[in-house]
Structure 1
Amino acid sequence: MYFDGATRRDGAGAGVVFISLQNHVMPYSFTLTQFCSNNVEEYQALILGLQMTIKIGVREMDIYGDSQLVISQILDEYEVRKEDLIPYYRQALQLLNQLDSINIGHVPRSANKLADALANLAATLALGAGESMQVPVCNRWGIALLERVEDIDTTNMICVYTADEDDWRKPIIDFSLL
């Protein structure tokens, strides 16, 4: 499991990515409904991932995050000094104790890109409480690549599109012609 959190001016988000032993990737993105610090959102992402893990019955896992502080606190290498982090630290430990075998490690941000992107997406969307959204991500070209561009004669090419006066796109089309 990879986890990451993100805070924006308008919201906060968490990203969790599970990768199975068969290399199946299961990405999850959560909008956090209350504004919080970057360390709290990192803990939130870890806790959300652990809750999902326990719910689906996984008992052994590797856990990676790019927050040196959170990872070091969970491994008891750093003391939790900030009062606002203590409840999250305790909750994470309680969930970790429900697992049979864990390996926790710090990874550089470059190795945590997918969780980071999911956290940033959720923070940017800033959905309200009770709202959810499905966001499919597709991997394809919009148009097929042309094999030999020089074969196309682009001289004297024009493109014309007319829109009815009541077409909602008319102001956009008119603006693009300026």
Structure 2
Amino acid sequence: MPGIDSELMSHRLAVYPGSRPVQERRRKLGPERAQVVEEQVQALLEAGFIREFKYPAWLVNVVLVKKQNGKWRMCVDYTNLNKACLKDPYPLPNIDVLVDSSSGCQFEWAPECEEAFQEFKKFLNQPPVLTRPKAGEELVLYLAIAKKAVASALIREDEVGQHPIYFTSKCLIDFIAEYAGDQEEASKAWEIYVDGSSNKVRSGAGIILVNQEGTQIEVSLKFEFPASNNQAEYEALIAGLKLAKEVGATKVIIFSNSQVVTSQINGEYQAKDPNMKRYLEKTLEHLRQFLQTEVRHITRELNNRVNALSKLASTKPGENNRSLIQETLQKPSVTKTDSKPDVLSVSGLDLRWITPLVEYLKFD
């Protein structure tokens, strides 16, 4: 870190002896993403947080994730490196002492501190269990309000002591917005991740719904009809929108790794195939049922879980799996309409042998 002498403090990775370095193959980035990476790396170089170094033993690609404000976040996956490193050998109090001493703050870990710390650990290991109140029983409500937070606890008392029934803790700004009836906060926003899969054996789709509270719904959808990859992607999207409507969503953000489908919905690509046109119209019809919608394209690497669900539906028979919802779609969401060929009426000519065929086509 700039401004700190390495002789005073330095951080070194405690790699397990004998760990084999992992070298990822280089992933090619598009022009826009390559420019973003170059700008962010240059900013880190100018700030002095990183420096150029030829170190071929450990190599990992950067991953760009687009934020809701349109800007890019550059991430680095340190999973392989973390697995090869020892855990921090310092207990919590000791590391605090080392940091405070290095920054010029003197802190003494007295016996009283150790006693309080042990009591705190004991409390964390034995959290209070919520109890059910009895009919007609008097309850006690505790309120604690600070400058930026508010907390409450509903307690029942008996001869043994106090027992919690329910408690809340919120940031004061969120608390005021929630109870002021802010319609924008009251609306329910869900993220929908979809992926369709098709092969010679069967087709299927994977769907994941996630809301702001962290609730997650996973669906593996098997098709009882043949479907192309784009058709499977549309079926997954339509099923996800139906499910979002059932859970009461008013805003949806859809993530799909299909460039064709997302571009058709956003108006960037034109759907020329008649069947795809009907799927596009059906999808837009469902999107109009929400107050706010957004469709984003993401890479397959960022859609791994949904991809696994779609592969589960398209490669294996429906088995009982308690961790997700498995459904079967018996027929497509849109039906193909076969148009009859136009037949021109011809008169005044001796068609001889072809006349019966023309009459058959005309009156079919």
Alignment TM-score, normalising by the size of structure 2: 0.35
Residue aligning to 1:2: 193
Code of the residue aligned with 2:250 in structure 1: it is R
Code of the residue aligned with 2:200 in structure 1: it is R
CA distance in structure 1 between the aligned counterparts of 2:243 and 2:214, rounded to whole angstroms: 18
Residue aligning to 2:272: 81
CA distance in structure 1 between the aligned counterparts of 2:220 and 2:286, rounded to whole angstroms: 20
CA distance in structure 1 between the aligned counterparts of 2:321 and 2:226, rounded to whole angstroms: 23
CA distance in structure 2 between the aligned counterparts of 1:120 and 1:93, rounded to whole angstroms: 26
Structure 2 counterpart SS, 1:111: helix
Residue aligning to 1:162: none
CA distance in structure 2 between the aligned counterparts of 1:126 and 1:44, rounded to whole angstroms: 19
Code of the residue aligned with 1:124 in structure 2: it is T
CA distance in structure 2 between the aligned counterparts of 1:43 and 1:126, rounded to whole angstroms: 22
Alignment TM-score, normalising by the size of structure 1: 0.71
- Are 1:10 and 1:123, in contact at CA under 8 Å, matched by a contact in 2? yes
- Are 1:14 and 1:31, in contact at CA under 8 Å, matched by a contact in 2? yes
- Are 2:208 and 2:217, in contact at CA under 8 Å, matched by a contact in 1? yes
Residue aligning to 2:55: none
- Report runs of 4+ in structure 1 exceeding 6 Å deviation: none
Deviation at 1:48, TM superposition (A): 0.5
Structure 2 counterpart SS, 1:58: coil
Q: Could you tell me which of 283, 289, 313 is aligned with 1:98?
A: 289
Query: Is 1:12 the equivalent of 2:203?
Result: yes
CA distance in structure 1 between the aligned counterparts of 2:243 and 2:288, rounded to whole angstroms: 14
Deviation at 1:24, TM superposition (A): 2.5
Residue aligning to 1:35: 226
Structure 2 counterpart SS, 1:54: helix
Structure 2 counterpart SS, 1:87: helix
Equivalent residues in 2 for 1:16-165, closer than 5 Å: 16-127=207-318, 133-136=319-322
- Are 1:31 and 1:125, in contact at CA under 8 Å, matched by a contact in 2? no
Deviation at 1:101, TM superposition (A): 0.8
Deviation at 1:110, TM superposition (A): 0.5
- Are 2:209 and 2:244, in contact at CA under 8 Å, matched by a contact in 1? no
Code of the residue aligned with 2:207 in structure 1: it is V
Code of the residue aligned with 2:201 in structure 1: it is D
CA distance in structure 2 between the aligned counterparts of 1:98 and 1:37, rounded to whole angstroms: 27
Runs of 5+ in structure 1 lacking a partner?
Answer: 128-132, 138-178
Code of the residue aligned with 2:281 in structure 1: it is R
How much identity, in percent, do the aligned residues show? 30
Deviation at 1:126, TM superposition (A): 4.6
Deviation at 1:135, TM superposition (A): 1.4
Deviations 1:81-128 (A, max 9, x none): 11121111111000000010112100000011111100110001255x
Code of the residue aligned with 2:225 in structure 1: it is Q
- Are 2:194 and 2:206, in contact at CA under 8 Å, matched by a contact in 1? yes
Code of the residue aligned with 1:89 in structure 2: it is L
- Are 2:257 and 2:297, in contact at CA under 8 Å, matched by a contact in 1? yes
Larger Cα-atom Rg: 2
Deviation at 1:134, TM superposition (A): 2.8
